[in-house]
Structure 1
Amino acid sequence: MRIFLSVLATLLLAASVAGCNPPARQFRGTDISAVDWGGDFELTAHTGQRARLSDYRGKVVVLFFGYTHCPDICAPTLNRLAQVMQRLGPEAGRVQVVFVSVDPAHDTPAQLAGFVPKFHPGFVGLTGTEAEIATVTRDYKVAFQAEPKPGATQPVIAHFGGMMVKDASGKLRVMLKNDAPIDDIVHDVRVLLAARS
């Protein structure tokens, strides 16, 4: 929760530079359209192929950072996103959910392949080297930290659990909490779909 609040504070500060008279609120999540970070990157997909985020240009992209052994946030969030895709119906074909691992030491492409597509066959899981993940998370202001747990074979990783949504042009537009109501996620995705960026 501390990590989410620190990232949220950063995003709200960045969004405030848009001006004293912002336009009427269109998103139910936090509008982060004013930020100038969060660019393209290349990682390894759960298929084993290299993939760039720009490969999904033309679609609304929902980015979620997590890891496959996450005990409490990741699976429920991916399940919510699967419900969002179901609610979108035919529009879901213009949306891409991308799960980026913050545990590259454990989350190999094979590990991701046994996890991410279980929630929805269209979801993409991405991983990379520790250096690659460090670069991507730094560029997206995503905080995470391994916290060793006595008796556990793997550390628990405290991480930013929100979702960032890009419009079809690849611009970051909105951030939603991992437990945002499904109606709110659907609403904000549809706002971006209607924009036809």
Structure 2
Amino acid sequence: MARWEAGARERLVVAAVDLFIEQGYDETTVAQISERAGVTKSTFFRHFPDKRELLVAGQETLSALLASGITSAPADASPLEAVAAGLAMASSEMGPTNRDLGPRLQAAVAASTELQERDALKSVGMAAAMATALVARGVPSTAAQLASEMGVLAFKQGYARWSAAAAAASPPATSASPADDDEGLAPHALAALADLRAAAAALG
């Protein structure tokens, strides 16, 4: 079996996002992405069926982590407490590369209708995974769906806060800077979930 280049998947995602921003999604080809990432086209197709799938890279893993965290939450945990456990587990796998890619990815998505559609599908997949895990814990379907949607929103808001905090750091974050050694995504995602929970309670 041929050996895949170390880090090829991550390099392809970063290269694609940068090219989408620089010249647009429609104008970017698989060949250009592969060249920017320093890999062959055959390596690209080992990781992704087409350039559309780059946006949802890692979605299955992320959804599985969210579901696993919910499943492993204490038996007496409320639905939102279980969602918090899912967010904590998923956040533990998000590193500086994920954080730094956030603003660029957001810019690429904003400029492309097709990428916006793929991003929406990613959110649907995350919510479905969490809802299924909650229902398996005995949470009623409607409550499970509501809690999972709050979880997706908390993840997105936390990710945005995490990226913004790194971007605002002075001096700018580098691979050797203290910003790479911060507490990670989890505190931001959990704080966002707490804010959403308070906002929901205030609705009456």
| TM superposition score category, shorter chain reference | under 0.3
Larger Rg: 2
**Larger helix proportion, structure 1 or 2?**
2
Relative contact order (C-alpha < 8 Å, sep 6+): which is higher?
1
**Larger strand proportion, structure 1 or 2?**
1
TM-score w.r.t. length of structure 2: 0.26
